[in-house]
Structures are given as structure tokens and as C-alpha cells.
Amino acid sequence: MPNDLAGRLLSLLPDLEAIVARERDRQRLLSTPIGTPRHTTKKTYVVDTLYVDLIARYARAEGLELKDVVNLALHEFFARRDYLPGEKP
């Protein structure tokens, strides 16, 4: 394989990793049973309109419900901080 082709392929690696991560998130959400598996509640929070728009755009692009995008975002936020119950080392 010529060096320039190998270099171009390697330069695409970060994009490919991002695509794979998004698809895994999408598949995980789509594989959950229809309906909400746990107790939920309606609650109003004041958030930046940027996030409202991004949530709607992501949900449309990925074919998800808004609540699923919000739950995924919150889960990732708290998981990164080791704040989820039962997930401490």
C-alpha cells in the first residue's frame, strides 16, 4: 500500500471511531424495550436553547425519541463522574 494512501486512511481514523461510537449509542438505545423501563417523571428544567436544538437535531438524525437522547446525555454525564448508583469501583 503506498504511503500516501496509508496516511490518508490513518487520518480518517478519528472520524471512523466517532462514527462507530455514535452507532453503538444508537444501537444501545434502539435495543431497549419500547416504553420506559424504569420509573420516570415529567420535570421542567431551564436549559440553554443550544442544547434544546442539539437534542432535537440528534434525535431526528438518529431516529430516536427526545427522552432517549436526554436520558443518554444525562447517563453519560453522571457515568463520567462515577456518580451513578451501583457503579462505584
pLDDT at 87: 53
- CA atoms of 49 and 55, how far apart (whole Å): 10
- Provide the greatest CA pair distance for the chain: 57
Cell numbers linked to 71: 436520558
* Total residue length of the chain: 89
Mean pLDDT by 10 residues, the chain (89 residues): 83 92 79 62 92 96 88 90 76
What pTM does this model have? 0.57
* SS3 (DSSP) at 83: coil
Q: For residue 79, which phi and psi values (nearest 5 degrees)? A: -65, -40
pLDDT at 26: 75
